[in-house]
Structure 1
Amino acid sequence: MTSSKPGDHARTEMIHDVDYPLDVPSTSGSGSGPGGDSATTAFPAAGRSDYSQFAESGGYDPSAPLPFSDQPTTIAASPRDEVTRRGTTDFGLFVLRLAVGVLLAMRGLQKLFGLFGGPGIDGFAATLTESGFEQARILAITGGAVELVAGVLLVIGLATPVAASALLALVGMGIAVRLTGGDPVPLLGDTTRGLETSILYAAALLALLFAGAGRWSVDRRWRWSHRPRFSGVIWLLLAVIVAGVIWYLLNGTNPLTSTTDSPPVTAG
């Protein structure tokens, strides 16, 4: 004779609602019921972490994600500095580098070796002496070598910011030499050479400083080839400082107000 207490029926329903893993095979592989059938309520022993046997026999696969858990998500982020397609921009930068680099390298050959109808070292040194420079021969050799080497670097796109800033300093000093002459130099010259050529050189070099060499260059793996950012400003400041120091120490005149007939401003 059995008796039931209040609440036993509810607890029985709760127990019946539990889903038992009736299809889990026995860990020993031997049947526990009549006829050798595999048991349906076998669980791995306590402390055991190898569930491969259950996965192989169609039970729980520990490698599969739980249906209730958040599925892992992977967000493929593109590299921050990845160079995107830029159309014909890189080709345009290559043409600009080629034209400016070749022409300025030829200028260096004129000053160093007298090629292409150039003055050579002696003639260029005499021009610098007439312009009020001291150590004119050293400046002539240095200026010609910088033009030649930096022009070649510009063509191949190697160390482009360094080459462009060095050439920009030379072009700026050339403009200053023209402005300190006895005769006024026009911006656009008809019969005499004006400043337009030097200004175009300076503008092209500034464009390369702030646009980069492009992917058609040896510098294509460096950030300054496509994203100069602050490097253009830094190299521009260096070019201005170096050119200003050389001019102040070896010439001393004010290119904005002085002429060859006015006394030079001594450096110190």
Structure 2
Amino acid sequence: MSIHDDRPGGAGGSPDDRSYGAHAQRPRGAKGAARSTQSLGARQHNYYDEDDGYSDGEATSLVGGVGEESGYAEELGKKRKPFAWNGGTDLGLLILRLALGGVFLLHGAQKLFGAFNGPGPEGFAEVLSGMGFQQSAALSLVTGGTELGAGALLVLGLFTPAAAAGVVGLMASAVFVKLGAGFFNADGGFEMDAILGALGLGLMFTGPGRVALDYGRVWFRRPLGFGFFGLVVAAGAAAAILILFHRP
């Protein structure tokens, strides 16, 4: 009679035998329970499992707005207003017109009528002669009339592209004549002429604003095209005066 248990799962077997026997003799129910436990664990922790842990369907995120479409951007787009002319722009252009137009209005009155301690047409003709211009008497009247008319039109906001073209043409001629003196006004340079010309050039392209007699006219509605047209006129007038009448 043998006291050694030769059964695979017996106590007398080797550890490997007992282990194998334990697995071999495990009830089917226990094995199913183990599989169920492992499956639950995978579902809880393995978020990248194709079958159980992750689904391509509806997803819920802990962060608000992630994983679902938000209508915020669409609502923001509806509420945002497109660029439009505003009262601040109109006020700024009115101030600019009054300042620039007023300066030329006063200087034109000085040259034409001798007002405000101005030189008058004869005195300004002498100034033009000293700068190398021929036909200075006629140019004195033309210059004074252009300054007076352009200044008045800018103040009223009427025919703004033409008025701005007159300002730009006069200042371009003055800048060219004073190039040799340098930039700064204290040295007899073209500083102030360049600033006034730049302001006129800006108004030429922006238009006068809605507080103006030009409001609603075709050049008011299309300032860019008429601005380029005014620029061509100003450049042509300045070039003609310098070529025909200036002899330094």
TM-score bucket of the superposed structures, by smaller chain: 0.5 to 0.7
Q: Answer yes or no: is the 8 Å Cα contact 1:211–1:227 preserved in 2.
A: no
Aligned equivalents of 1:198, 1:222: Cα separation in 2:
30
TM-score using structure 2 length: 0.63
In structure 2, relative to structure 1, the CA distance for the partners of 1:245 and 1:85 (3 Å cut) is closer
Is 1:131 the counterpart of 2:131? The answer is: yes
CA offset digits 1:108-141 (Å, max 9, x no partner)? 0111122222211111101111222221101101
Consecutive unaligned residues in structure 1, runs of 5 or more: 1-82, 253-259, 261-268
Residues 178-189 of structure 1 mapped to structure 2, 5 A cutoff:
178-179=178-179, 184-189=180-185
Q: Alignment RMSD, CA only?
A: 1.8
In structure 2, relative to structure 1, the CA distance for the partners of 1:166 and 1:153 (3 Å cut) is same
Aligned equivalents of 2:109, 2:174: Cα separation in 1:
16
Is 1:248 the counterpart of 2:243? The answer is: yes
SS of equivalent to 2:167: helix
Q: Which residue of 2 aligns with 1:228?
A: 223
Is 1:162 the counterpart of 2:162? The answer is: yes
Q: Which residue of 2 aligns with 1:174?
A: 174
In structure 2, relative to structure 1, the CA distance for the partners of 1:240 and 1:246 (3 Å cut) is same
Aligned equivalents of 1:177, 1:127: Cα separation in 2:
12
Residues 1-268 of structure 1 mapped to structure 2, 5 A cutoff:
84-179=84-179, 184-189=180-185, 191-225=186-220, 227-252=222-247, 260=248
Q: Answer yes or no: is the 8 Å Cα contact 2:121–2:141 preserved in 1.
A: yes
Percentage of identical aligned residues: 39
TM-score using structure 1 length: 0.58
Q: Which residue of 1 aligns with 2:8?
A: none
- The aligned amino acid for 1:222 is R
Aligned equivalents of 1:158, 1:248: Cα separation in 2:
30
Structure number with bigger Rg? 2
Q: Which 4+ stretches in 1 moved above 6 angstroms?
A: none
Aligned equivalents of 1:87, 1:163: Cα separation in 2:
23
| Aligned-residue offset at 1:211 | 0.5
| Aligned-residue offset at 1:172 | 1.1
Size of the aligned set, in residue pairs, is 166
- The aligned amino acid for 1:92 is G
Q: Answer yes or no: is the 8 Å Cα contact 2:112–2:145 preserved in 1.
A: yes
Q: Answer yes or no: is the 8 Å Cα contact 2:178–2:189 preserved in 1.
A: no
User: By percentage of residues, which structure has more helix?
Assistant: 2
CA offset digits 1:57-114 (Å, max 9, x no partner)? xxxxxxxxxxxxxxxxxxxxxxxxxx94424111111110000000011110111122
In structure 2, relative to structure 1, the CA distance for the partners of 1:106 and 1:236 (3 Å cut) is same
- The aligned amino acid for 1:205 is G
Aligned equivalents of 1:210, 1:98: Cα separation in 2:
17
| Aligned-residue offset at 1:226 | 5.0
Q: Answer yes or no: is the 8 Å Cα contact 2:174–2:190 preserved in 1.
A: no
SS of equivalent to 1:229: helix
| Aligned-residue offset at 1:145 | 0.9
